Each structure stands twice: as structure tokens, then as C-alpha cells.
Amino acid sequence: MIGARRHLLELASMTADEIEQLLDLADTFSDISRRPIKKVPTLRGRTIVNLFMEPSTRTRSSFELAAKRLSADTLNISGGSSSVVKGETLLDTARNLAAYRPDIIVLRHKDAGAPHLLSRHVDASIVNAGDGAHEHPTQGLLDMLTIRQHCKGIAGRKVAIIGDIAHSRVARSGIVGLAKLGAEVVVCGPPTMLPAEIETLGCVATSDRTQAVTDADVVMMLRIQKERLKEELFPSDREYSRIFGLNRTALALAKPDCLVMHPGPINRGVELEPDVADGPQSVILDQVANGLAVRMAVLYYCAGGAA
């Protein structure tokens, strides 16, 4: 029955309580990956389709491993090798997959709202693994989990998100999620990459890196997504790095134990200097580990209530 499933489409429509519950679940699931047998039988016999219509290594492999650690069966379909190149529409692809009766479809798509569309037409729980420039909710959750673990709570923390805010679904999920949990979010980037309405999501926008980084508890650097940029929004990598990149001098303005985060993959020397990326304040690999735990929690959450 369509509509009776539990989905994870976006953080924007979730309450702070629901987000905290997912983070608590993820905390518990992270223990499973530290055991000798890294698998629990919870989703035995369930089928999870990873439908990735855009390139992804980290998110797709992390969803796949999360499903396997919960004992679910997975089917991976990626855009380049699928019938999409033969002209099939997203809904047709999804309906064909639905004939296999999957319990969960994890979707990454270039268009905002694609997972929402699927949730209205396909009888499976839909998990948004990134839709256009809209949201990337599991990335938002793993960022929040990382901050919560290292900063002992999110409320009242100053989080600076720096980069191409306009094209970033990571930024959008981060802003709405962190704002709901009471963080003070400052977004920063070249004016060409700062949408006019961004502050309505619950953050302050600036093009001044110093203002963004000063006294921050967390600095989250975004990747300059060259594959998404159709026009020149900044003159050169070197100039971007000088004005908006994070180096040791800029980081010194933040709190002494400020966390450095990045959703990966890093353009070393563009948005992030190597000595900062690999430095003692970097929690980038914790983010990767937490991504696995968060995705296990999300699959568990979506599988529940679907009986």
C-alpha cells in the first residue's frame, strides 16, 4: 500500500526529536562495526535497492555496507550502466524495480524532489541519498552525529559552512538539521555561490571568511563541485583558495579545539590545505565511520513500521 511506508526524504520536515532519535540509534549501531562479527540479523530477508543515477563512491558503498551489516540483500544500480541511458524515465525504472518487491529504495538523483516523487508512486520506503541541490539527509545526520560526539552537544555551537552554498545539498541538510538542534549556523562563500534566500533556512550568510570562522566550534568545508558548475563563478582555484579556503592561519581564528569537517572527496589545496585536512583538528575520517552508522540507523528506521 503506497503511503503506509516510512521514508527519509529530507531533514527539513523532521522534528528535532526525530533527528535526535536517529542520532541515538546511530550511536548504538556504530558499536556493531567494532565487533569481531560485524553483522546483525535484523533485516534478514529484506531487499534494498541502491539506485544511484549520479556518480557516488562513498555514499553508495556506505549504504551498501550498512545494508549488509544488517543482513539485508542489496541490488546496486547506477545511472551510467542502466536503462536510463536508453531513455527510460525515473518512474518507469523505479516501477520496474518495484516489481521485485524491494523493501527500501535508496535513491540518488540529479533532480531535487526525485525521492519525493518516488515515494508517491512506488510501494517501498524511499531513502534520499542526495537529490539535486536540495538535500542529502544522511550526510546532514552524519555531520550532526560527528559534532555531537566531539562537542558534547549541538545546541549553542557555532558552525561555519564554507563553500559553494548554492549548489550544495550537503549545506542545505546541514543548515536545516543543525538549526533545528539549536546550533548557530553561518554560511560563507563567494556572492555568486550564496543564494539570496538562504538565510530563511535558519542561518547567517556572509562572504567574509574571517567573520564565519572567528570563534567557530566547527568549520565545515564544502567541495568545489567542478562537475556541477556550468559557468565560471570564481576566477581561479588559486584565488578561491586564498579567499575562501581553509589554511592554518584562517583556522587559528576559530576556537582552539574547533573541528574541521569535509564531506569528501577533498580538492586538496583548493578548499582545504593538506596540513589542515590531515591535522589534529580534522574529524573527516570520523565522518566516514559515522556515515556507516547513520545509514544503518536510517535503514532500520525505514524498515520498521512497514509490516
Partner 1 sequence: MKKLEETFRSRRTVLDTVAMRRAIRRLGHQLVEDAVDVSNLALIGVRTRGVPLARRLAKVIAEAEGVEPPVGELDITLYRDDVFEGLAVPEVRPTLLPFEVRGRHIVLVDDVLYTGRTIRAALDALMDWGRPHCIRLAVLVDRGHRELPLHADYVGSTVSTALGESIEVCLAEIDGEDEVRHWSEPEVER
Residues near partner 1 (CB under 8 A): 6, 25, 27-29, 31-32, 35-37, 39-42, 70, 300-301, 303-307
CB of 129 to partner 1, least distance (A): 20
In 3-state terms the chain splits into helix, strand, coil percentages (rounded to 5) of 45, 15, 40
CB of 71 to partner 1, least distance (A): 9
CB of 20 to partner 1, least distance (A): 12
Q: Cα separation of 59 and 108, whole Å?
A: 9
Which CB atom, from 6 or from 95, has the smaller least distance to partner 1?
A: 6
> What cell does 181 get?
538542534
DSSP-derived secondary structure letter, 222: P
Place of cell 565511520: 289
Which CB atom, from 77 or from 306, has the smaller least distance to partner 1?
A: 306
Which CB atom, from 19 or from 171, has the smaller least distance to partner 1?
A: 19
CB of 67 to partner 1, least distance (A): 14
Place of cell 538542534: 181
CB of 47 to partner 1, least distance (A): 14
H helix runs in the chain, sequence order: 16-32, 58-69, 90-98, 114-121, 137-151, 169-180, 209-213, 237-244, 248-251, 274-277, 284-303
Q: Cα separation of 240 and 181, whole Å?
A: 31
Which CB atom, from 8 or from 188, has the smaller least distance to partner 1?
A: 8
Which CB atom, from 29 or from 240, has the smaller least distance to partner 1?
A: 29
